[in-house]
Amino acid sequence: MNGARRAPLSSRSLHSSPVHMASSIVLFGPPGAGKGTQAGNIVEMTGKPQVSTGDMLRAALAAGTSLGVEAKGFMEAGQLVPDSIIIGLIEERLKEADAENGVLFDGFPRTIAQAEALSQIAEVSVVIAIEVPDGRIVERICGRYTCGACAAVYHDTFNPTANPGVCDQCGHAEMKRRADDNEDTVRTRLSAYHTQTAPLADWYRQRDIFVAVNGDQDIAKVGSEIAAVL
Ligand code: ADP
Ligand code: AMP
């Protein structure tokens, strides 16, 4: 994705038709674009729960479930987990009561097959793409850390906690770094994004529900652009 291909917000009908109550929202973009960072505000604005396939897979991994064991090798290598696993995970998640009025998908769908499966089970009213050039991704991901209790997302230089090692959101004092947040794996993840996930942008553009925001600006400005879309 680049600036020239971005659908200008002013050309979209979304301003005059706010996100439908019972429909879902997709947060789209490369790894490290800021999806997780922006998700909290969107959840607050819309009341829709965040559904992050990455978080669900990491929880399965930590719990040692068979799904976690199956996904582990792909995640460690920076490759996408097979569609059948991801689609099954989403089908189960959408049966939960809090998904009744739609959800905020974060990191899903990531392939055309996943988007097609999603279109059979849920309505998506808008896909918000956070666009960030590849050159920024490595520094973002390699500096990322999260709260071990509430999973709030921070960055060593761009968004550090006010008190080192202590979560601004919940006060917990144990921060975590992801095993796959290293330079080698990031390059594989970026390559998977360009070959398998980026084609989804056109897939959603054709359905007229794709809006791009500039993710290469400070966190609050990205949040304002997203709020304007919603
Ligand atoms: P994603 O969920 O898309 O993988 P994250 O929200 O986890 O991305 O953000 C990746 C890293 O980049 C985090 O360390 C986060 O603090 C940082 N970050 C997020 N948005 C911005 C931004 N607009 N400018 C600078 N750093 C950012
Ligand atoms: P994320 O937390 O979104 O950065 O995802 C971490 C890793 O989980 C990815 O590198 C993939 O291995 C896997 N993953 C997460 N979501 C998906 C998805 N929708 N499809 C395939 N693999 C996924």
Q: For residue 140, report the distance from its CA to the centre of ligand 1, in Å.
A: 6
Neighbours of 159 (CB within 10 A): 18
Q: At 158, is the pLDDT very low, low, confident or very high (cuts 50, 70, 90)?
A: very high
28 Cα to the center of ligand 1, angstroms: 13
Spell out the domain ranges in the chain. 23-132+184-229, 144-180
Nearest CA to ligand 2 atom 15: 54
Q: What percent of the chain has pLDDT over 90?
A: 89
Residue 195: phi and psi, rounded to 5, are: -85, -40
Task: Write out residues with Cβ below 6 Å of ligand 2.
Answer: 31, 53-54, 57, 74-75, 78-81, 86, 107-108, 110, 114, 189
Task: Give me the mean pLDDT over the 127-154 stretch.
Answer: 95
pLDDT at 3: 34
**Residue 96 burial class via C-beta count within 10 angstroms: exposed 0-12, middle 13-18, buried 19 and up:** exposed
pLDDT value at 1 more than 90: no
- pLDDT at residue 174 is higher than 90: yes
Specify the CATH superfamily of domain 23-132+184-229. Answer: P-loop containing nucleotide triphosphate hydrolases (3.40.50.300)
Q: Output the average pLDDT for the chain.
A: 91
**Cβ-based neighbour number of residue 125 at 10 Å:** 18
Q: Does pLDDT of 200 surpass 70?
A: yes
Distance in Å, CA 120 to ligand 1 centroid? 31
Q: Give the model's confidence band at 212: pLDDT under 50 very low, under 70 low, under 90 confident, else very high.
A: very high
pLDDT-derived band of residue 22, with 50, 70 and 90 as boundaries?
confident
